[in-house]
């Protein structure tokens, strides 16, 4: 039989918490990749990996925090632990491919769309792998139109996110971009949930195991703890927080050094150059 599938079982609490986690993951990803672009080759891969893991964990955590508010009338929901953890690996892996691609090759006209499509399809795969991990007395059906729309949103959001991570440098701009990215990622999730219709089996007890909250919360501890540690890394790196221009300005003001000339000016011939060497004096007036 058809039953009511509610995605807001806890009211606005779970959508808001899911959105905040998406914003946190996005902000950490943006700042980590921005830091990688100012690092030498030895450190770049590490910062890119931190950004990919932060963004992937943020997306995955958003999904399953939102799912704690999903309820099907007449059936208790549980989750397959193996598939749930696979969905976490998928989220981190596909985001890593996109971030490493633009981190090393830039947001060019070929690299950015290709990486955006791959990452977007991967994020959608993470979402529907997580949905496949759901266990209930019955089954789920999906509206093709809303599924396709959720994939389009995922691709568009991923492409915009990959452009942002290599284009936005300042701290305040990163915060604004992360808020927009949070809307896009969370919107993709709830668009996908609009596609769901639940069909519960008749004559079966609603209780089939622990509640979604009691099962998902222990699995959320690891990714959330990682995001907290990544936040600490960002907050203790002044260049990451301030951005390149602000960091250079702050360093100059504290040291009292004048503003350094642009690199192009260093190679220009000075107006008045005098050189005194062992064989006499040379003046280029």
Assign 203 a pLDDT band (cuts: 50, 70, 90): low
Assign 156 a pLDDT band (cuts: 50, 70, 90): very high
C-beta of residue 48 within 8 angstroms of C-beta of residue 95:
no
Assign 236 a pLDDT band (cuts: 50, 70, 90): confident
Cα 234 versus chain centre, distance: 14
- Of the candidate ranges 50-54, 100-104, 268-272, the one whose mean pLDDT is the lowest: 268-272
Question: What residue spans define the domains of the chain?
Answer: 2-246
Which tokens sit at 160?
């915009």
Give the pLDDT of residue 211.
62
Q: Which of these, 56, 4, 7, lies nearest to 28 by C-alpha position?
A: 56
Percent of the chain with pLDDT over 70: 74
- SS in 3 state form for the chain? CEECEECCCCCCHHHHHHHHHHHHHHHHHHHHHHHHCCCCHHHHHHHHHHHHHHHHHHHHHHHHHHHCCCEECCECCEECHHHHHHHHHHHHHHHHHHHHHHHHHCCCCCHHHHHHHHHHHHHHHHHHHHHHCEECCEEEEECHHHHHHHHHHHHHHHHHHHHHHHHCCCHHHHHHHHHHHHHHHHHHHHHHHHCEEEEECCCCCCCCCCCHHHHHHHHHHHHHHHHHHHHHHHHCCHHHHHCHHHHHHHHHHHHCCCCCCCHHHHHCCCCCEEEEECCEEEEEC
Q: Is 28 exposed, middle or buried (0-12, 13-18, 19+ CB in 10 A)?
A: buried
Q: CA angle 13-14-18, nearest 5°?
A: 120
Average pLDDT over residues 239-265: 47
Give the pLDDT of residue 81.
87
| 244: pLDDT strictly greater than 80 | no
| Whole-model pTM over 0.85 | no
Which of 68 and 41 is assigned the larger pLDDT? 68
Average pLDDT over residues 155-176: 84
Average pLDDT over residues 130-149: 88
Which of 28 and 234 is assigned the larger pLDDT? 28
């Amino acid at each position: 039989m058809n039953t009511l599938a509610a995605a807001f079982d806890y009211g606005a609490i779970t959508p808001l918490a899911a959105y905040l986690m998406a914003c946190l993951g996005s902000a950490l990803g943006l700042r980590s990749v921005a830091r990688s672009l100012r690092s030498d080759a030895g450190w770049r891969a590490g910062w890119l990996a931190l950004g990919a893991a932060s963004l992937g964990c943020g997306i995955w955590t958003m999904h399953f925090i939102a799912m704690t508010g999903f309820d099907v009338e007449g059936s208790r929901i549980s989750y397959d632990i193996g598939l749930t953890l696979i969905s976490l690996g998928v989220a981190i892996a596909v985001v890593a491919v996109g971030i490493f691609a633009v981190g090393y090759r830039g947001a060019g006209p070929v690299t950015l769309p290709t990486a955006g499509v791959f990452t977007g399809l991967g994020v959608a795969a993470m979402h529907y792998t997580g949905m496949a991990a759901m266990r209930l007395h019955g089954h789920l059906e999906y509206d093709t139109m809303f599924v396709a729309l959720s994939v389009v949103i995922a691709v568009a959001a991923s492409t915009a996110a990959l452009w942002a991570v290599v284009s936005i440098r300042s701290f305040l701009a990163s915060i604004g971009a992360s808020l927009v990215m949070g809307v896009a990622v969370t919107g993709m999730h709830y668009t996908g949930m609009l596609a769901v219709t639940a069909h519960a089996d008749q004559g079966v007890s609603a209780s089939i195991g622990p509640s979604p909250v009691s099962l998902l919360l222990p699995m959320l501890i690891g990714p959330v703890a990682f995001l907290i540690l990544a936040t600490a890394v960002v907050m203790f790196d002044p260049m990451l927080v301030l951005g390149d221009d602000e960091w250079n300005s702050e360093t100059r003001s504290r040291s009292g050094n004048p503003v350094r000339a642009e690199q192009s000016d260093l190679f220009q011939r000075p107006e008045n150059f005098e050189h005194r060497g062992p064989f006499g004096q040379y003046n280029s007036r």
